[in-house]
Structure 1
């Protein structure tokens, strides 16, 4: 693969974007009406997440966020990819902690910021082989920079 998403090492000079988690809720969920949602408010909710084998960093971060708020996530329904996770949330099968940029995948979910013990952010970057002049990569980078001009 010549281009893909990955987590960068701590000594990398490349920075793309730091993102915090949001909670993705079904449209008719009782937490939608709350002005502020704390991580601890999610303690009795069923969660939806990518399979740990597919996204161990994401899965482990989600569990850590919950543990830091004083609970272990219950009834975790897993899926192979984020699109399926969000489809399950939309169907009312649970809630999900998602990165900020994933809120653009579906518009039939309510995305809310989280308050409290959470402020776990992570770095997202896009890597590609030097000298790769693929129109696909170039167009992708152009779109990303249009969406967020602060990106390097």
Structure 2
């Protein structure tokens, strides 16, 4: 939205269609013309939570939350680095996706390189290996009111 969200939810309209292959016949959903079994199947698909979302929610339930010793004694350096509210990029390679904010020194660096070459260039991991600064959070996973909302990702150090 122009000028940011200003604590207002963006307006959008959600629509669904059924596409019948191989001719790509498109039917609006919901439609009174559909057989009940088809309608029920589409309803179930629309209401289903994916496995990834279920795993995210489970990882943030009260029973699973543990306070990390690294977070309890987190050193934060006053080194003049200012983290902007948007427009993030890796400090080493200018990537703009899969970014991690180191919570000790404020460095914004890209994440792991995936098996297929996508993702980052391992700069956040390399930074941890060089500095030993133990905590980083994936940018974009914490909301404006500082609520992780079940989807924050935190990078913890690899035990030696």
Larger helix proportion, structure 1 or 2?
Answer: 1
Q: Which has the higher strand share?
A: 1
Give the TM bin, normalised by the shorter chain: under 0.3
The TM-score with structure 1 as length reference comes to 0.22
The structure showing larger relative contact order (alpha-carbon pairs under 8 Å, at least 6 residues apart) is 1
Larger radius of gyration: 2
TM-score by length of 2: 0.21
